Amino acid sequence: MSYFVLSVIWIFFSDRLLQLVTTDSTLLMEMQTYKGWFFVLVTSILLFLLIEKSTSKVVKSRNKIKKALNEKQVVLSELHHRVKNNLSIICGLIEMQIDELDNRDEARALKSIQYRIYSLADIEELFYQNRDMSSVPFHDFLNHLVISLNEPGGAQFRIKKNISDSFLKIDKAVPFGLMVNEIFSQLRMNGNLEELNYITVSLSQSDSGQVTFEIGFDVVPSTILSQLRGEDQIESILLNLFIDQLHADTEWREQDGISKFSVSFDSSDTYENMSLPEMPLANQISN
């Protein structure tokens, strides 16, 4: 601002000052030429200094941001590996406990817990690997879950799937992933060991963010439905908790020996708009 004021004063009054210094027209023209070059030189120097100062600030800010991002990446990487290792240790301990159990029901209960931990680990892994860390590629999680259905020595499934790309925020992906896992766990543990089981899986996400998931399976055995729809079953309690958190609309249908479960919710809902359980899960189960 000061330079602008001085420049205006220089332009308007420098010629008058020169006229006071000399009346020789030739000398006056030469002095005006020198005056113009002097003004250009001073202006160029000041602009250079100004640009240099601005550039220096930008470089310092950029280096500071780069350093902060690198530090954040190191912390995030360390956190990811710690979470991954801890979940692996927990699953390993549960597996060791299962191997020592003779009671089939107790082993099944621990196996259910193990599957839930695996689901959390898969979602966390996808969240970490995704470049856009604001969302999780849920279609990758679902594809992995479908593949894991056919375990050696367990029930075998013929799967027809129609899974489209769907990206969810982490606060949506976790309850949705755990909800889907509950259904898949029941299929995995209660599937018919003597015959091939048939299931259909579909997932889609509209441009407006509406997510629709549907799974259909032949009724083998009815234990699957009683576990998922029984009022006093932990699987049913968990399923309903996850549905409430998602603000989802659900529907059970049975036709020609096929049971279908569909769920639909708005993936654009913010975390603040999500409903959470009003009391701890343990209290709900005990009640």
Mean pLDDT of 132-146: 85
Clarify whether residues 54 and 157 are in a common domain: no
Q: Of the candidates 135, 184, 170, 137, which has an alpha carbon nearest to the alpha carbon of residue 245?
A: 170
Point out the domain boundary residue: 21, 39, 61.
61
Of 71-75, 102-106, 112-116, 279-283, which gets the smallest average pLDDT? 279-283
Residue 85 belongs to some domain of the structure: no
Bigger pLDDT: 27 vs 235: 235
Contacts of 267 (CB under 8 A, 6+ apart): 166, 167, 168, 169, 172, 205, 209, 210, 211
Residue 161 belongs to some domain of the structure: yes
Clarify whether residues 57 and 150 are in a common domain: no
Residue 109 belongs to some domain of the structure: no
Q: pLDDT tens for residues 85-120? A: 888 888 888 888 888 888 878 887 888 888 888 888
Point out the domain boundary residue: 44, 61, 78.
61
Q: What is the pLDDT of residue 276?
A: 42
Length reported for the chain: 287
Q: pLDDT tens for residues 202-219? A: 999 999 999 999 998 875
Clarify whether residues 265 and 144 are in a common domain: yes
Clarify whether residues 51 and 147 are in a common domain: no
User: Is pLDDT above 60 for 287?
Assistant: no
Tokens representing residue 79 in the block? 């956190």
Tokens representing residue 170 in the block? 């982490």
Residue 39 belongs to some domain of the structure: yes
Clarify whether residues 146 and 270 are in a common domain: yes
> What is the rounded CA–CA span in Å between residue 176 and residue 217?
19
Clarify whether residues 275 and 160 are in a common domain: yes
Residue 120 belongs to some domain of the structure: no
User: Is pLDDT above 70 for 284?
Assistant: no
Clarify whether residues 188 and 274 are in a common domain: yes
Residue 88 belongs to some domain of the structure: no
> What is the rounded CA–CA span in Å between residue 198 and residue 67?
53
Cβ 283 vs Cβ 237: under 8 Å: no
Clarify whether residues 154 and 280 are in a common domain: yes
> What is the rounded CA–CA span in Å between residue 174 and residue 120?
7
Q: Where are the alpha helices (DSSP H) in 101-163?
A: 104-129, 138-147
CB under 8 A, 24+ apart: contacts of 280-287: 281/237, 281/238, 281/241, 284/237, 284/241, 285/234, 285/237
Q: pLDDT tens for residues 18-34? A: 555 566 666 656 666 66
Point out the domain boundary residue: 40, 61, 82.
61
Cβ 143 vs Cβ 197: under 8 Å: no
Clarify whether residues 17 and 140 are in a common domain: no
Query: Residue 260, class by beta-carbon neighbours within 10 Å (0-12 exposed, 13-18 middle, 19+ buried)?
Result: middle
pTM recorded for the entire structure? 0.65
How many structural domains comprise the chain?
A: 2
Clarify whether residues 152 and 282 are in a common domain: yes
Clarify whether residues 48 and 185 are in a common domain: no
Q: What is the pLDDT of residue 286?
A: 45
Residue 251 belongs to some domain of the structure: yes
User: Is pLDDT above 80 for 176?
Assistant: yes
Cβ 158 vs Cβ 146: under 8 Å: no
Clarify whether residues 18 and 146 are in a common domain: no
Q: What is the pLDDT of residue 112?
A: 80
- Give residue 168's domain range: 136-286
> The domain spanning residue 245 has which CATH number?
3.30.565.10
DSSP 271: G
